[in-house]
Structure 1
Amino acid sequence: MTPYGTFTFFLIAFIVLLPVIILGFLGKRSHIYNGLSTLFMIELIFSSTKHNFFDQPLLSVAFVNFIIYVVWQVLIIMYYWKSRFVKNTFSKFFMVITLSILPLIIVKVMQSSLLGTAQIKFHESKVVELIGFLGISYVTFKSVQLLMEIRDGSIKEIDHWKVVQFITFFPTISSGPIDRYKRFVKDDRVAPSGEAYRALVEKAIHYIMLGFLYKFIIAHLLHVYAITPLLMDLTGFTAKWLYMYAYSLYLFFDFAGYTLFAIAFSYLYGIKSPQNFNQPFKAKNIKDFWNRWHMSLSFWFRDCIYMRALFFMSKKRLLKSQFAMSNIAFSLNFIIMGIWHGIESYYILYGMYHAALFIGYGYYERWRKQHPPRWQNQFTTVMSIIITFHFVAFGFFNLFRETVLKHRRNLKVWNLKHKY
């Protein structure tokens, strides 16, 4: 069952969380019930009538994969935590990071359209359908971030059950937001007071209502009355231009709506998961955009890829220019982000596109310092927002170009089947 995809999911989730809410109003928390409710909701999310054991949808292949994956990650994390005092070498750190991301790499390669008809099958099912699970990327990000913080020494204490709770926290399991271990544990250890919890519930209700508006009304209307009609004839320049606008807005409202649901249900557990969107289409430049769009992912890449690459190059003094090293780190950051979306060329080009935007804006900032603007007013601000939006929307259109074409083909096939 897709998280936050149907009203049935919300009904079941509210019933399951009812004891959590009641205890929250009393200023109490049951870690045992929280764990059991999380286990049930994860079973529900991964349930499958096609790929399961003993014809039990709740005992799905994806659920078993997830359990194995969690055990794998916890073993890696606890091994590194206990062995770091003996010999915390870079080679050991590299080994545990590689082992942590290995399942994700396998899934991404198996999912790739580059394999085409060569995709390995087992009992008429693609192997990738039997080895992965929804949200493997975001769970991996949590594990990698935790390993990096252990490496840095910023984690002072760790508990394997807290690690399990952190990795398996169901509200954010499929698409984030990506939380940080220390922040999560701080919220989880001490239950908020009844008054503080009531404030969280009020925010949760607000986010749920706003999420319904975003995902089930605005995004739905954009899909039905803009995207679908435009896909039927996407040949002219005007149609492509309009589709670029419609799809960019749809992508935001659909994803932001999901995120609001995830944060709301986190709040019901008394966990203040981080915000993920902050009016991204009001960004005045590309750097501002990535500080507003999918913020938990953007900050994860900044901290785990960009900052570490820049620190390594600075420490080794690979280049004299800090600006040049920063540009290389930006390029690496966004290319890896593109590869994370998929190993197809258009994903990699998307990463390179945003790297070029970042680097280009960096040169523009340097030029602006030497040539201050003669005037700065509301008009120039609006123009900055419009220009930034168009650069971003153009990237979205090209990133999901293959998805667009696939949807277009499916629509044409559907219309042919239902023509008479």
Structure 2
Amino acid sequence: MSFFSGFDFFVVLIIALIPAILLGLREKSLRFYRMFLTGAFIFLIYHKSPQELLFLLSYAILALYVVKLYGFLRARYGRNKYIYGHAVLIVLIPLIISKIELFMGQSLLGPDTTIYGFLGLSYIFFRVVQTIMEIYDGVIKDVNGYQFLTFLLFFPSLSSGPIDRSRRFFQDDEKIYTKAEYNELLEQGIVKIVLGLVYKLPLSGTFLYIMNTYMLNKFDPLHVIGYAYFYGFYMFFDFAGYSLMAIGTSYILGIKMPDNFNKPFISIDMKDFWNRWHITLSHWFRDFVFTRFIIDSARKRRFNNRLTAALVGLLLNMTLMGIWHGLEAHYILYGVYHGVLLGITEFYQKKSKFYKIYKDHAIYKICSWFVTLNAVMLGFLIFSGQFSAVVAAFTKYLGQ
């Protein structure tokens, strides 16, 4: 059984949501049923891989221990950067080990040892680090252990997001909805699940089939362009479909999880694209990497002006996002590519008189949309891992 995939998962999910619906319509708390369902689905998904289940549970316990201990130390010693840095490092180390081992194809302890990692590690890491950072900021004073574990392991978003924020989740977790409020949530949840199924099954499946059947390993310009576009549309419908089903399920369980996509292919520039694509990921990096880098740079006067700081920050931010996807060259190149594009966009919009004069004109917006769409699709080609093969084929063609 896999999350939001396969007939058996959806049969179990429908049955499991019926008591939640009855509780919600009767204006009862969904808190403890959410916790029960989270435990039940974790067992159903991971029980055939005991080592993966062990890694998941041990990391969750480690995260809880670090968060609680850091909360205590923060209250006792204040904003101590040494303690704060070590708290982040402790929860980061398992992710680093997982990424290195996946890249190497074997455990760091030897070829006969299990590779560390589990489905959802990257997304849990974001939730843990966000909590630690906001404890450091003084925004979060204390964390309830059971509530925190539910936040980390909440099954609809466990494997692939969206990436929720702890304070927002805790507010929903404690809320008891009126019948009218829950009716609205239920309706929205069902619509999102159905739309997600349409995205995930017929649409993403069709783009994947056409791409693999007619365009894969064909390196003439027409097929390369077609592959980039079909891969981009496949990625959107597959991931957005998953996100919609996860969000819809969370709505039915009383958690208003944030949206993850908002019509990304109508974006008129790269900044607009990253405000529409994988929103919870891009906003996480914006809030907890880019913004903090800019503030720290201003405090330490690293750069002569804010624009230079922003350009370096964007490149750093997106490169880290690429590395988060994996240590393979195409993931890192994808991050650098988008960092450069965002830097160019930032510089152009800040310095160009042409942009300031024509940015609101319809023709300019259409041209900007066209350029942005093609830049995005080239990024998907890089992300797919096919870009190096395209470059090699093109180089060979030029050498003939």
Equivalent-residue separation in structure 1 for 2:82 and 2:249 (angstroms): 39
Equivalent-residue separation in structure 2 for 1:33 and 1:6 (angstroms): 24
Equivalent-residue separation in structure 1 for 2:322 and 2:110 (angstroms): 24
Equivalent-residue separation in structure 2 for 1:61 and 1:375 (angstroms): 54
Picking from 364, 368, 373, the partner of 1:384 is: 368
For residues 146-203 of structure 1, the C-alpha deviation after alignment (integer angstroms, 9 at most, x for no partner) is 0000000111332111111110111100111100111001001012111111111101
- Corresponding residue for 1:410? none
Aligned-pair RMSD on alpha carbons?
A: 2.0
Runs of 4+ aligned residues of structure 1 deviating over 6 Å after TM superposition are 116-119
- Corresponding residue for 2:393? none
Which aligned pairs between 1:10-409 and structure 2 lie closer than 5 A? 10-48=10-48, 51=49, 60-88=50-78, 89-113=80-104, 120-122=110-112, 127-128=114-115, 131-231=116-216, 233-369=217-353, 372-373=356-357, 376-401=360-385
Equivalent-residue separation in structure 2 for 1:170 and 1:106 (angstroms): 24
Equivalent-residue separation in structure 2 for 1:331 and 1:313 (angstroms): 14
Equivalent-residue separation in structure 2 for 1:339 and 1:150 (angstroms): 26
Q: For residue 268 of structure 1, report the CA deviation from its aligned partner.
A: 1.0
Q: Is the 8 A contact 1:142 1:180 kept in 2?
A: yes
Greater Cα shift, 337-346 or 363-372: 363-372
Normalization by structure 2: what TM-score?
A: 0.92
For residues 64-92 of structure 1, the C-alpha deviation after alignment (integer angstroms, 9 at most, x for no partner) is 21111110000000000011122131010
The secondary structure found in structure 1 opposite 2:29 is: coil
Q: For residue 382 of structure 1, report the CA deviation from its aligned partner.
A: 2.0
Q: For residue 120 of structure 1, report the CA deviation from its aligned partner.
A: 3.5
Equivalent-residue separation in structure 2 for 1:191 and 1:146 (angstroms): 24
Equivalent-residue separation in structure 2 for 1:156 and 1:117 (angstroms): 38
CA shift in 2, pair 1:6/1:341, >3 Å: same
List gaps (5 residues or longer) in structure 2: 390-400
The percentage of counterpart residues that share the same residue type is 34
The secondary structure found in structure 1 opposite 2:76 is: coil
Q: Is the 8 A contact 1:141 1:178 kept in 2?
A: yes
Paired amino acid for 2:32: I
Paired amino acid for 1:398: I
Equivalent-residue separation in structure 2 for 1:209 and 1:403 (angstroms): 34
Greater Cα shift, 76-85 or 221-230: 221-230
- Corresponding residue for 2:5? 5
CA shift in 2, pair 1:374/1:137, >3 Å: closer
Equivalent-residue separation in structure 2 for 1:117 and 1:270 (angstroms): 40
CA shift in 2, pair 1:397/1:110, >3 Å: same
Q: Is the 8 A contact 1:145 1:304 kept in 2?
A: yes
Q: For residue 402 of structure 1, report the CA deviation from its aligned partner.
A: 5.1
For residues 45-80 of structure 1, the C-alpha deviation after alignment (integer angstroms, 9 at most, x for no partner) is 2232xx4xxxxxxxx221121111110000000000
Greater Cα shift, 272-281 or 396-405: 396-405
Equivalent-residue separation in structure 2 for 1:246 and 1:371 (angstroms): 31
Q: Is the 8 A contact 1:214 1:254 kept in 2?
A: yes
For residues 222-250 of structure 1, the C-alpha deviation after alignment (integer angstroms, 9 at most, x for no partner) is 1123333211x412121111111100000
- Corresponding residue for 1:409? none
Paired amino acid for 2:123: Y
Q: For residue 30 of structure 1, report the CA deviation from its aligned partner.
A: 4.4
**What is the aligned length?**
388
Equivalent-residue separation in structure 1 for 2:133 and 2:257 (angstroms): 20
For residues 304-328 of structure 1, the C-alpha deviation after alignment (integer angstroms, 9 at most, x for no partner) is 1101111111111112211111111
Q: For residue 344 of structure 1, report the CA deviation from its aligned partner.
A: 2.0
Equivalent-residue separation in structure 2 for 1:117 and 1:149 (angstroms): 33
CA shift in 2, pair 1:403/1:172, >3 Å: farther
Equivalent-residue separation in structure 1 for 2:275 and 2:6 (angstroms): 30
Q: For residue 374 of structure 1, report the CA deviation from its aligned partner.
A: 5.2
For residues 326-369 of structure 1, the C-alpha deviation after alignment (integer angstroms, 9 at most, x for no partner) is 11111111111111111122222111111110111112112334
Normalization by structure 1: what TM-score?
A: 0.88
